[in-house]
């Protein structure tokens, strides 16, 4: 079995009004608030987690320096099909188990005075669309595993510039076996994807051991002590 990510643990979405986001996701969508604490390693920021299931959450990062308003077409798409800056979130779709659950949530959302489009039949899933606080574009979807034989369009493959060998590789990514010794941190190559740290931080990351980084940044103690 090829090792790859198996799901979304959490989506971390920026906010200037974390209480409004918590209110929306608990009251409108029925998600439980599971964590709200000072964000580790980020002075002045709060982190909140709303549960989708015990292994998957929608999270919000309330940073005092977050810009106050969305800039539609730049920071936010605003609709399920509008353009937005590359690398940003166009919209986020959350899974439900059945069309019946989808319809129940459609009616719950509408009962809170929020307009909902759908369900819309996309072939491999049924979806509803609606807006969330601070310009979020949200989708709920019920569906099955996508059959790549039916849903990889040869015309679009050609327009994207994918040749036959690349397509075969994308459909069946190479396996990887972890070597006996950990792979060392590579030197910074800004031609490759990278975080937006300054060079001195990257120099520290390149020379520090994984254990050193873990010791420096980890903060595993919860804010509230719980007794069984």
178-216: pLDDT as tens digits: 999 989 888 888 898 888 889 898 888 888 888 998 998
Segments of the chain assigned E as strands: 10-15, 32-38, 46-53, 56-62, 92-95, 117-121, 125-131, 137-143
Q: What is the pLDDT of residue 113?
A: 97
Q: How confident is the model at residue 109 (pLDDT cuts 50, 70, 90)?
A: very high
Q: In what order do the strands lie in the sheet with 32-38?
A: 10-15, 56-62, 46-53, 32-38
- Give the separation between CA 151 and CA 172, rounded to whole angstroms: 15
- Give the separation between CA 93 and CA 19, rounded to whole angstroms: 22
Which residues are 92's β-sheet partners?
Answer: 138
Q: How confident is the model at residue 37 (pLDDT cuts 50, 70, 90)?
A: very high
- Main-chain dihedrals φ then ψ at residue 135, nearest 5 degrees: 85, 10
Segment (H or E) for 154: helix 154-160
Q: pTM of the entire structure?
A: 0.90
Q: What is the pLDDT of residue 202?
A: 86
* Of the candidates 39, 49, 12, 36, the residue with the CA atom closest to the CA atom of residue 219: 39
Q: Report the mean per-residue pLDDT for the chain.
A: 93
Query: pLDDT of 141-170, one tens digit each?
Result: 999 999 999 999 999 999 999 999 999 999
Q: Secondary structure of the chain: what % helix, strand, coil (to 5)?
A: 30, 25, 50
The answer for residues whose C-beta is within 8 angstroms of residue 81's C-beta and 6 or more apart is: none
Indicate whether 1 pLDDT > 80.
no
Contact 38, 47 (CB under 8 A): yes
């Amino acid at each position: 079995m090829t090792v790859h990510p198996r799901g979304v643990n959490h989506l971390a979405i920026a906010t200037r009004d974390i209480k409004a986001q918590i209110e929306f996701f608990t009251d409108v969508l029925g998600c439980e608030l599971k964590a709200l604490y000072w964000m580790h390693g980020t002075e002045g920021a709060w982190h909140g987690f709303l549960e989708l299931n015990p292994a998957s959450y929608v999270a919000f990062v309330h940073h005092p320096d977050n810009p106050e308003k969305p800039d539609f077409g730049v920071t936010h798409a605003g609709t399920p099909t509008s353009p937005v800056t590359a690398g940003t979130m166009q919209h986020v779709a959350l899974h439900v188990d059945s069309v019946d659950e989808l319809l129940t949530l459609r009616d719950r959302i509408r009962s809170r005075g929020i307009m909902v489009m759908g369900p819309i039949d996309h072939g491999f899933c049924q979806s509803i669309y609606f807006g969330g606080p601070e310009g979020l574009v949200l989708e709920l979807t019920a569906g099955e595993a996508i059959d790549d034989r039916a849903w990889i369009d040869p015309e679009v493959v050609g327009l994207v510039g994918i040749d036959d060998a690349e397509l075969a590789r994308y459909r069946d990514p190479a396996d990887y076996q972890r070597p006996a010794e950990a792979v060392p941190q590579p030197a910074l190559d800004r031609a490759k994807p990278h975080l937006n740290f300054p060079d001195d931080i990257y120099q520290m990351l390149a020379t520090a051991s994984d254990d050193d980084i873990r010791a420096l940044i980890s903060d595993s103690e919860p804010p509230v002590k719980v007794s069984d």
